[in-house]
Amino acid sequence: MPQLNRLATQRSPYLRQHATNPVDWYPWCPEALERARQLDRPIFLSIGYAACHWCHVMEHECFENPYIAALLNEHFVSIKVDREERPDLDALYMNALHLLTREGGGWPLSVFLTPTLTPFYAGTYFPPDDRYAPHRPSFPRVLLAIAEAWKTRRGEIEELGQRVTAALQQMQVRESSPEVLSETILRQAGRTLQRWFDRVHGGFGTAPKFPHPVELSLLLRLAIRFADQQMASMVRQTLKAMACGGIHDQLGGGFSRYSVDARWLVPHFEKMLYDNALLASVYTEAALLLNDSFLADVARSTLDYILRDLRVPPGLFASSEDADSEGEEGKFYLWTEAQIRELLGPDAGEFACKVWNVTPEGNFEGKSILYRSGSDEEDAARLGLKLEEFRQRLQTVRQQLLSIRQQRIRPARDDKIITAWNAWTIEALARAGIAWDVPDYLSAACTAAELLLRYARDSQQRLLRLAVTPDDRVPDAPPLAFLEDYSALINALITLYETTGSVSYLQQATELAEAMVDRFADPHGPGLFFTATDQEPLPVRLKEHQDGATPSGQALALTALLRLSHLLQRSTWTGLVREVLQTQVPLMQEQPLGAGQFLIALDWYLGPVEQVAVIGDARAPEVQQVRKMMGRIFRPRQVLAYHDPQAGAAPTLIPWLSDKPLRDGPVVVYRCQDFRCDAPLMDLDAIQAAFHSTSIFPTTPLTSDQ
């Protein structure tokens, strides 16, 4: 009989969802691996996550099916893994799927392993019958064929598994390119992204369409480097199209995972913390660079969604919300024209239906996904209203519908607190908090950072993949943090230092960076591994060579080390970065949509990087004004350092501050490159003029009420 309580006690909601299946599930654990060896059975490894719609479909169709469960229990050891808890397993076996099938991946990921963990067959979703034959075989047919092959063709299976493992190991080897790291690589990447750009709907490629926040952020940097208005326009078009589309929650803010169509209308309704954090950051960057208040509003509404709907006690952030509620995809978000008119009355209902394009026939299974036709200015003109009147009416009906929607049964929320995803949220909140002068954002970022540093640590002070708060009832410790957790948190702490001036954040970032290099760097060649030296060994120790659903942890690590090297004068880290970038040249040249974070790191590496020192009493209003001024300028290759002479000598952590006196007045700003500085700036008008005059998009910074 299946031990149905094995998954019931797991930390992951995704695993707990499968606790009542008739499948004899194990979590990934020594007991499961030992059982496969003792019984000499293949392992069926099923990897997914709580917000995954097709994971739920396969569970209902297959794992709740007694016949299919009996096949699994008789012939396999079945292991269920949450990819968000164990991205190392997901990355390893997703790469195996690519090698075995030469096709794209996805979730649920279904992999068959030998007891020695070598993969020999893989797929994603399998149906319970032959409804999609011959392109997608039924799951019972797959199980019976593999069980028979395990008995009669064992040697072939093991040989195939060994070949796949050897190929996976070979994939980790990247030779250093002889090509010089130069602007040519960045320019070529920009041209490639321009070719792949959808000039009608924005974004890249066709359906299904993903937001690609990292590549959009890259384009903003390339626009600045090459004074290219077209690249900036591509970003504006994409961000505006997404904000107007159904992928954007028009009432509550936030973005769904992706759009199933090319024009951003029909979302795959799940909402992920990492998508929203990364998108909030790029909306903030674009709004600052382009002086666009519409994009600024979207950045703020996205963060408001995170703070309202994803914040969990004591102040950290849950990982996702499901696509489904009450067993139906998107039910929480859909409306009919009759509903809106009845709830709002004739005038307000008519206005709402026109703004969000709600029709009697609907646009999704007889109901309507709300979407906009344009910005506030464009919609006001379309409806023949003055802008201020339009905005007032829009705010009123949005709040009314949101309040009504909040009474519906919400999609399930996955309350796992993932270190990297929380770090991206902290960084987005800190950037927006200083840019739009929203103290609550900055306060939330500081609180989350302090909690993460407290609760995402083990007894040896090593970083953990998940935060374990006092309310956690699961006795087992979560896995140790992976490279993306370290690199994302280091970047977030640097940003917090630059937005608050608190040197403790920089100290924590430096300590984490030293631990990261020590535990993840390859001692035999360039690169940083996905896993640390003291984590569970797998058949292959991966290096994350390109972006996936999230930015490459290795590329994020390079970005963090470069930022710190320019703050702390650590030239050894710059050398490590150069060696890794040299191995990534072919990827950056040929696949910029998979190398966005590496290209951002290259932009940092090539410089010039400006070091800016702000000297003055931290409590002085002039110093606070300069800090806000710096936060409202998008200068991607800039590091900020602060020193308050009232607090004592300059911090030893930042040696180049020691010869930067306050001089006359309450504040002085030094602008430096390679730690050689221009004449100090002591007048607020001169400071603002100096930092705006070098932008290719000279603008007046947005104010918080725009």
For 161-171, the pLDDT digits (tens) are: 999 999 999 98
* Same domain as 389, residue 314: no
Contact call for residues 237 and 287 (beta carbons, < 8 A): no
Judged against a pLDDT cut of 80, whether residue 228 lies above it is answered with yes
Q: Which of 296, 317, 299, 297 is nearest to 308 (CA)?
A: 317
Q: Which of 563, 306, 261 is nearest to 432 (CA)?
A: 306
Residues 6+ apart with CB under 8 A from 394: 355, 376
- Per-residue pLDDT, averaged over 383-389, amounts to 96
- Per-residue pLDDT, averaged over 227-240, amounts to 96
Contact call for residues 297 and 432 (beta carbons, < 8 A): no
The beta-strand segments (E) located in 316-465 are: 316-317, 320-321, 324-325, 328-329, 413-414
Q: Which of 591, 441, 411 is nearest to 50 (CA)?
A: 411
Q: Which domain holds residue 649?
A: 610-693
* Same domain as 373, residue 295: no
- Per-residue pLDDT, averaged over 155-177, amounts to 92
**Number of domains comprising the chain:** 4
248-275 burial code (b ≥16 CB/10 A, e <16): bbbbbbbbbbbbbbbbbbbbbbbbbbbb
* Same domain as 389, residue 258: no
CATH of the domain at 547: 1.50.10.10
* DSSP conformational letter for 310: I
Pairing mode, strands 43-48 and 77-82: parallel
End-to-end CA, the chain = 63
The phi and psi torsions of 40 (rounded to 5 degrees) equal 55, 50
Confidence tier at 697 by pLDDT (50, 70, 90): low
**Residue 592 within any structural domain of the chain:** yes
pLDDT tens track for 91-124: 999 999 999 998 778 899 999 999 999 999 999 9
Confidence tier at 694 by pLDDT (50, 70, 90): very low
Q: What is the pLDDT of residue 174?
A: 85
Point out the domain boundary residue: 606, 634, 654: 606
Q: What is the pLDDT of residue 477?
A: 81
- Per-residue pLDDT, averaged over 663-687, amounts to 90
Give how far Cα 297 sits from Cα of 232, 292, 373, 435, 597, Å. Answer: 18, 9, 16, 12, 26
**Residue 268 within any structural domain of the chain:** yes
96-116 burial code (b ≥16 CB/10 A, e <16): bbeebeeeebebbbbbbbbbe
* Same domain as 405, residue 518: no
Q: Which of 246, 250, 218 is nearest to 231 (CA)?
A: 218
d(CA 480, CA 492): 19
Q: What is the pLDDT of residue 649?
A: 79
* DSSP conformational letter for 412: P
* Same domain as 565, residue 434: yes
**Strand order, beta sheet including 413-414:** 271-272, 320-321, 413-414
Q: Which of 547, 546, 420 is nearest to 488 (CA)?
A: 420
pLDDT tens track for 438-479: 999 999 999 999 999 999 999 899 999 999 998 887 767 899
Whole-model pTM: value is 0.95
Tokens describing residue 675: 């730690």
- Is the previous residue joined to 208 through a cis bond, with omega within 30 degrees of 0? yes
**Strand order, beta sheet including 119-123:** 25-27, 77-82, 43-48, 109-113, 119-123
**Residue 463 within any structural domain of the chain:** yes
Confidence tier at 648 by pLDDT (50, 70, 90): confident
Tokens describing residue 145: 């064929």
Q: Which of 161, 157, 159, 137 is nearest to 149 (CA)?
A: 157
Confidence tier at 4 by pLDDT (50, 70, 90): low
C-beta neighbour count of 498 within 10 angstroms: 25
Q: Which of 444, 439, 403, 415 is nearest to 427 (CA)?
A: 444
The phi and psi torsions of 572 (rounded to 5 degrees) equal -65, -35
Contact call for residues 107 and 116 (beta carbons, < 8 A): no
**Residue 4 within any structural domain of the chain:** no
* Same domain as 621, residue 586: no
Confidence tier at 674 by pLDDT (50, 70, 90): confident
Q: What is the pLDDT of residue 5?
A: 66
**Residue 598 within any structural domain of the chain:** yes
* Same domain as 148, residue 294: no
Give how far Cα 378 sits from Cα of 221, 338, 373, 387, Å. Answer: 28, 26, 8, 9
CATH of the domain at 140: 3.40.30.10
**Residue 703 within any structural domain of the chain:** no
Contact call for residues 299 and 280 (beta carbons, < 8 A): yes
Element (H, E) at 305: helix 293-305
Confidence tier at 152 by pLDDT (50, 70, 90): very high
pLDDT tens track for 281-309: 999 999 999 999 999 999 999 999 999 99
* Same domain as 437, residue 529: yes
Q: What percent of the chain has pLDDT over 70?
A: 97
The phi and psi torsions of 674 (rounded to 5 degrees) equal 55, 35
Tokens describing residue 335: 């409306």
Judged against a pLDDT cut of 60, whether residue 701 lies above it is answered with no
Place of tokens 């994603």: 124
Exposed, middle or buried by CB within 10 Å (0-12, 13-18, 19+), for 85? buried
* Same domain as 507, residue 392: no
* Same domain as 394, residue 264: no
Contact call for residues 599 and 402 (beta carbons, < 8 A): no
Place of tokens 């937001």: 211
pLDDT tens track for 398-423: 999 999 999 999 999 999 999 999 99
Q: What is the pLDDT of residue 698?
A: 44
**Residue 1 within any structural domain of the chain:** no
Contact call for residues 385 and 235 (beta carbons, < 8 A): no
**Residue 335 within any structural domain of the chain:** yes
Confidence tier at 135 by pLDDT (50, 70, 90): confident
Contact call for residues 620 and 684 (beta carbons, < 8 A): no
Confidence tier at 561 by pLDDT (50, 70, 90): very high
C-beta neighbour count of 327 within 10 angstroms: 8
Tokens describing residue 426: 């902290």
* DSSP conformational letter for 608: P
The beta-strand segments (E) located in 243-309 are: 258-259, 267-268, 271-272
Point out the domain boundary residue: 606, 627, 652: 606
Indicate the Cα dihedral angle 597, 602, 605, 608, nearest 10°.
-110
Tokens describing residue 33: 């691996």
Q: What is the pLDDT of residue 702?
A: 39
Judged against a pLDDT cut of 80, whether residue 699 lies above it is answered with no
* Same domain as 535, residue 588: yes
Judged against a pLDDT cut of 90, whether residue 671 lies above it is answered with yes
Q: What is the pLDDT of residue 705?
A: 35
Q: What is the pLDDT of residue 300?
A: 98
pLDDT tens track for 529-557: 999 999 999 999 999 999 988 999 999 99
Helix (H, G, I), strand (E, B), or coil: what is residue 28?
coil
Angle of CA points 231, 233, 234, to nearest 5°: 65
Helix (H, G, I), strand (E, B), or coil: what is residue 362?
coil
Point out the domain boundary residue: 410, 439, 470: 410
Judged against a pLDDT cut of 60, whether residue 311 lies above it is answered with yes
* Same domain as 497, residue 387: no
Work out whether the CA dihedral 49, 51, 55, 59 comes out positive or negative. Answer: positive
Contact call for residues 671 and 615 (beta carbons, < 8 A): no
Q: What percent of the chain has pLDDT over 90?
A: 86
